[in-house]
Structure 1
Amino acid sequence: MKTFLRPFGAALLLSLAAACAHAQAEEVVRIGFINIDRLLREANPAKQGQSKLEAEFSKREKDLMEAGNQLKSASEKFEREAPTMAESQRAARQRQLAEQDRDFQRKRREFQEDLNARKNEELQQVIDKANRVIKQVAETEKYDAILQEAAYINPRLDITDKVIKALNAASPAK
């Protein structure tokens, strides 16, 4: 019985291998890769978002820097004059500087929180646009999968330039 199944098993194995090879020959899987970091640096919508953030937050940042410099100057002046001040005057000045420092730290923290929130909003808008364009490129060029992260990717699979070009065309520079 074993000798009878051996040729049958070999033939079955050969026909399965041939069928798999034929199926693979007919169905080519197209895979692309997107370097999302590069896209977020080079695409016009990302650059526009960065410019918008800079314009929106530059005045507050400048005011904050000025307040920090004033606090530093006041602190240095206090350090120089403290030895010649009366104890009550020195204590009052220390309280005033501590209060100014707390106020400055609070403003800096609020600034950073507001900036981070706006950065996340702008980033999400860019990612949403990019995802729409990636899907469009995938459908147009018949990709089966487009990856955004990989341990290694062959450069011939990188379609980042195509996506940046399509994203820039969809969002003209202002």
Structure 2
Amino acid sequence: MNHFFSKIVLGFVIAVAGVSAGAQDFRIGIVNLDRIFREANSAKAAQAKLEQEFSKREKEINDLGTQLKTLSDKFEREAPTLAESQRNSRQKQLVDQDREFQRKRREFQEDLNARKNEELQLVIERANKVVKTLAESEKYDLILQDSVYVNPKHDITDKVIKALNAAR
């Protein structure tokens, strides 16, 4: 689907460029979102905010995992000497603890991903506003986000990052 959409956009760009070539200059720009996410101050601030927000919970989950591993290792060492009822009881207890650990880790990951998406969406919204302003002020006809190949003369990511950083 994405490949199909890319072909349609490329066809459109070629058609518009062909029609416009005789009449006037056709200006296009390309923005690399990955670079914006890595380099823009607002994206870095969002990442730091997420790390601060989730670091305590992540540490608790990691500690729980370490504790579970320790208990599992201890059980493996002691299992041959335990009575069958004790072995079954401790094994059931370990399975229950592991299930709880997996549930907490999954919930953590889901919460982190949801918050990350929220923060990245805010960065994208700010970047889109900057791109629109840049397009209007520098008279671009078309600005695309991400592509397989970009001639550096069309890459306006640096301008967008500078404008984003100046806006904060």
- Is the shorter-chain TM-score for this pair beyond 0.5, marking a shared fold? yes
Question: 1:129: which partner in 2?
Answer: 126
Q: What CA distance in whole angstroms lies between the structure 2 residues aligned with 1:78 and 1:165?
A: 57
Please report the RMSD computed on the Cα atoms of aligned residues, expressed in angstroms: 1.2
Q: 1:110 aligns with which of 96, 107, 110?
A: 107
Q: Which structure 2 segments of 5+ residues have no match?
A: 1-19
Deviation for aligned residue 1:26: 4.9
Letter in structure 2 aligned against 1:76: D
Aligned equivalents of 1:150, 1:64: Cα separation in 2: 38
Letter in 2 for 1:50: Q
3-state SS of the aligned residue for 1:146?
A: strand
Secondary structure of the structure 1 residue equivalent to 2:166: helix
What amino acid is aligned across from residue 121 of structure 1 in structure 2? E
Greater Cα shift, 25-34 or 75-84: 25-34
Q: Percent same amino acid at aligned positions?
A: 67
**Alpha-carbon deviations, 1:7-63, whole Å to 9, x = none?**
xxxxxxxxxxxxxxxx84552111111111111110011101100000001111101
Rounded Cα–Cα distance in structure 1 between residues aligned with 2:91 and 2:27: 68
Structure 1 residue corresponding to 2:82, chosen from 85, 96, 111: 85
Aligned pairs, number = 149
State the shift of 1:152 in Å. Answer: 2.3
Question: What's 1:69 paired with?
Answer: 66
- Higher Rg of the two aligned structures: 1
TM-score by structure 1 length?
Answer: 0.82
> Unmatched 5+ residue regions in structure 1?
1-22
Selected match of 2:145 from 133, 143, 148: 148
Runs of 4 or more, structure 1, over 4 Å off, are: 23-26
Residues 1:24 and 1:98: Cα distance change in structure 2 (over 3 Å): closer
User: Which residue identity does 2:125 align to in structure 1?
Assistant: D
After the TM superposition, which of the residue ranges 112-121 and 149-158 deviates more from structure 2? Answer: 149-158
Q: Deviations over 1:123-154 (max 9, x none)?
A: 10000000000000001111111111333221
Q: Return the alpha-carbon distance in structure 1 between the equivalents of residues 148 and 71 of structure 2.
A: 52
What one-letter code is carried by the residue in structure 2 that aligns with 1:39? I
